[in-house]
Amino acid sequence: MRYREKRKNRKFEKTIRYASRKAYAETRPRIKGRFAKRTENDTEMEHIFSSRRLPRRRPRSPPPPPPSPSPSPSPHQ
């Protein structure tokens, strides 16, 4: 392709690649649109609400033991 053809296909829109980063950025405190440091109250409140929001996981059961080798008949009998 030629340079001009490629140039027509350029996309300058803002694309979000990671949903997790977007979610984190939306929850961070801002001052005049810029990210600001969290206060102690903010971190405590976030910890309280995040622990309630997460579903509880069931503990994993241990994996089953490997099968024991079966005795094979000896060829010298």
Q: What b/e sequence results for 19-38 when a residue is b if at least 16 CB atoms lie within 10 Å of its CB, and e otherwise?
A: eeeeeeeeeeeeeeeeeeee
Name residue 68's amino acid. Answer: S
pLDDT digits (tens, 9 = 90+) for 5-25: 999 999 899 888 999 999 999
Q: Is 1 helix (H, G, I), strand (E, B) or coil?
A: coil
pLDDT digits (tens, 9 = 90+) for 53-69: 556 677 788 888 888 77
Is the overall model pTM greater than 0.85, yes or no? no
The token duo for 45 is: 């409140």
What residues does each domain of the chain span?
A: 16-51
pLDDT at 43: 66
Closest CA to 27 of 13, 42, 9, 11: 42
